[in-house]
């Protein structure tokens, strides 16, 4: 008989191989999906993974977009990784991302058309505060009433989406926009814009913040006692209590990190690539960042690489829709496969297959 046997301790080899195997399995399964849709699977995989980097006809546009797409994914995933390490499951980063964008944009638009250089720093603080406040709702409910943070944080995403639609049609709508939903263009107003810092690279303040967050997280998790406390809280909650780790404080810190970084991601996006608050502002970065966090093994350097890889699938997916006529839903399914294969192969880190003789009745 073939049976699963728990390993005495997680396999370091399988832990390292799991992300690579998940990517390869996603390519194979995605190729089958594209073949069922009547497309050449090899060509589709090439367009998604290789053309954005190596096809000179599209690389001049695609390469700068790599950092533009990766920035918010890395920022949000770094924040989520703190909680996931401690067994605290914030699934509502999308809502915190939206609220950071709304609060930051609202502060900026309140000063329009002033060109005061302090406006953008105020918007950054407002974006971080908006994400933090939205994250504190599930955190406080969990600390006070022991509610399930997964359900509360997830349901708050839909509340945030309704608020986004409301302000796009009302409070923040451009009075000179001819009745169309959406705010003024923040990217075209110097005091609130988040332009490229180096022309032609896609590097803006959001990307800089993402790199800083990677460095900060690496130091905190590998060179500080906080990293040990996080790991202990996630793997042995009772032992963590005996070691002096307060679960309530850990919930507060983890939700603070994820809320602030998600809010910043929303602010940098609305002042840069998106340019304005609109009904379709949110594109699912908060949910995709969950895949990025796990694909990166909850390690800051891994998250940096996983964010770049996921950004590549975004850009390649857009190219595949344009060049091959693939539906957007197929690209989203392709990205979702990555998480499922990652979770499936991750089982081999903690379990192994064993052959055993069948027992007599």
Task: Judge whether residue 358 has pLDDT over 70.
Answer: no
- What would the pLDDT profile of 114-155 be if each residue is shown by its tens digit? 999 999 999 999 999 999 999 999 999 999 999 999 999 999
Q: Please tell me the predicted confidence (pLDDT) of residue 343.
A: 85
Q: Please tell me the predicted confidence (pLDDT) of residue 143.
A: 94
Q: Please tell me the predicted confidence (pLDDT) of residue 117.
A: 92
**Does residue 270 contact residue 277 with C-beta atoms inside 8 Å?**
yes
Neighbours of 199 (CB within 10 A): 9
Phi, psi torsion values for 353, nearest 5 degrees = -85, 140
Radius of gyration in angstroms for the set of CA atoms belonging to the chain, rounded to a whole number: 22
Q: Please tell me the predicted confidence (pLDDT) of residue 278.
A: 94
- Cis status, amide bond into 35, omega within 30 of 0: no
Average pLDDT, stretch 32-57?
91
Q: Please tell me the predicted confidence (pLDDT) of residue 204.
A: 95
C-alpha distances (whole Å) from 333 to each of 43, 245, 310 are 18, 40, 13
Q: Please tell me the predicted confidence (pLDDT) of residue 267.
A: 97
Q: Please tell me the predicted confidence (pLDDT) of residue 97.
A: 98
Coil vs helix vs strand at 352: strand
Nearest CA to 225 out of 211, 239, 245 is that of: 245
Neighbours of 347 (CB within 10 A): 12
* d(C-alpha 47, C-alpha 109), whole Å: 40
Task: Judge whether residue 51 has pLDDT over 70.
Answer: yes
Average pLDDT, stretch 9-25?
89
Query: Across all residues in the chain, what is the average pLDDT?
Result: 91
Domain boundaries, the chain: 40-325
| DSSP-assigned letter for residue 203 | B
Which of the two residues, 222 and 132, has the higher pLDDT score? 132
Nearest CA to 59 out of 285, 280, 312 is that of: 312
Q: Please tell me the predicted confidence (pLDDT) of residue 352.
A: 86
**Does residue 75 contact residue 265 with C-beta atoms inside 8 Å?**
yes
Task: Judge whether residue 254 has pLDDT over 60.
Answer: yes
* d(C-alpha 131, C-alpha 270), whole Å: 14
| Count of helices and strands (H, E) across the chain | 14, 2
Task: Judge whether residue 250 has pLDDT over 90.
Answer: yes
Average pLDDT, stretch 267-280?
93
Q: Please tell me the predicted confidence (pLDDT) of residue 359.
A: 59
Task: Judge whether residue 167 has pLDDT over 70.
Answer: yes
Q: Please tell me the predicted confidence (pLDDT) of residue 361.
A: 54
C-alpha distances (whole Å) from 241 to each of 135, 144, 358 are 24, 18, 43
With pLDDT > 90 as the criterion, what percentage of the chain qualifies?
A: 67
Exposed, middle or buried: residue 113 (CB in 10 Å: 0-12, 13-18, 19+)? exposed
Per-residue tokens: 11: 């396999």
**Does residue 238 contact residue 217 with C-beta atoms inside 8 Å?**
no
* d(C-alpha 357, C-alpha 1), whole Å: 6
* d(C-alpha 168, C-alpha 216), whole Å: 35
Nearest CA to 200 out of 312, 52, 68 is that of: 68
List all residues 6 or more positions away from 4 whose beta carbon is below 8 Å from its beta carbon: 347, 351, 352, 353, 354
Task: Judge whether residue 168 has pLDDT over 90.
Answer: yes
- What would the pLDDT profile of 52-110 be if each residue is shown by its tens digit? 988 888 888 888 899 999 999 999 999 999 999 999 999 999 999 999 999 999 999 99
Average pLDDT, stretch 200-219?
95
Q: What are residue 355's DSSP bridge partners? A: 2
Q: Hunting for tokens 């359900």 — which residue is that?
A: 151
- Positive or negative: CA dihedral 252, 258, 261, 267: negative
C-alpha distances (whole Å) from 56 to each of 40, 45, 61 are 21, 17, 9
- What would the pLDDT profile of 297-319 be if each residue is shown by its tens digit? 999 999 999 999 999 999 999 99
The CATH classification number of 40-325 equals 1.10.3470
């Amino acid at each position: 008989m073939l049976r699963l046997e728990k390993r005495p301790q997680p396999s370091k080899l399988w832990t390292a191989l799991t992300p690579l195997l998940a990517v390869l399995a996603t390519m194979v399964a995605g190729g089958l999906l594209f073949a069922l849709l009547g497309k050449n699977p090899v060509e589709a995989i090439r367009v998604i993974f290789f053309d954005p980097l190596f096809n000179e006809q599209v690389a001049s546009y695609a390469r700068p977009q790599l950092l533009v797409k990766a920035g918010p994914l890395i920022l949000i995933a770094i924040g989520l990784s703190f909680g996931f390490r401690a067994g605290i499951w914030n699934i509502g980063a999308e809502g915190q991302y939206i609220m950071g964008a709304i609060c930051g944009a609202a502060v900026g638009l309140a000063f329009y058309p002033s060109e005061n250089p302090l406006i953008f720093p105020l918007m950054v603080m407002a974006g971080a505060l908006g994400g933090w406040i939205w994250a504190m709702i599930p955190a406080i409910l969990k600390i006070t009433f022991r509610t399930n943070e997964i359900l509360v944080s997830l349901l708050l995403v839909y509340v945030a989406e309704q608020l986004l639609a409301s302000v796009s049609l009302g409070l923040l709508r451009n009075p000179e926009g001819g009745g169309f939903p959406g705010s003024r263009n923040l990217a075209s107003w110097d005091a609130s814009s988040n332009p490229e810092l180096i022309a032609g690279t896609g590097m803006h303040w959001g990307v800089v913040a993402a790199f800083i967050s990677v460095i900060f997280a690496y130091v905190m998790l590998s060179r500080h006692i906080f990293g040990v406390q996080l790991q202990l809280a996630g793997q042995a909650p009772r032992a963590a209590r005996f070691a002096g780790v307060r679960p309530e404080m850990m919930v507060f810190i983890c939700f603070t990190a994820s809320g602030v970084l998600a809010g910043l991601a929303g602010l940098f996006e609305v002042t840069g690539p998106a340019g304005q608050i609109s009904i379709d502002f949110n594109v699912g970065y908060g949910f995709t960042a969950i895949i990025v966090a796990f694909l990166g093994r909850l390690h800051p350097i891994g998250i940096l690489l996983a964010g770049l890889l996921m950004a590549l699938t975004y850009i390649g997916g857009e190219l595949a829709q344009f060049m091959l006529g693939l539906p957007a839903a197929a690209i989203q399914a392709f990205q979702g496969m990555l998480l499922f294969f990652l979770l499936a192969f991750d089982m081999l880190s903690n379990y192994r297959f064993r052959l055993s003789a069948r027992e007599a009745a």
